[in-house]
Structure 1
């Protein structure tokens, strides 16, 4: 669920900024899709890195 919400929010912000910049509808949709996927990737990488760091901190005790 967090991945979907992140995609909607990050893609939505990119689309709104494109809309305010006066871009065409195709560019607005493209920004929504591309930056939505970038948001998902950033969240996934952060989750994996947090898991790795957490496991390393647990084994140090």
Structure 2
């Protein structure tokens, strides 16, 4: 279940920007605690949504 969530979030980030996808793969490959990384990644995605995506709907 956890891996599928990583895959879906990673795919969303890849669709948004390939650079973020490369960072995502790098962190996944070097992180030993996936639960802690999942928390950080959710914060990262929410930050992207707040800064880049939500303003598009406000226009």
TM class, shorter-length: 0.3 to 0.5
Compute the TM-score of the two structures, normalised by the length of structure 1: 0.42
Of structures 1 and 2, the one with the larger relative CO (CA 8 A, separation 6+) is 1
From the CA coordinates, give the structure whose radius of gyration is larger.
1
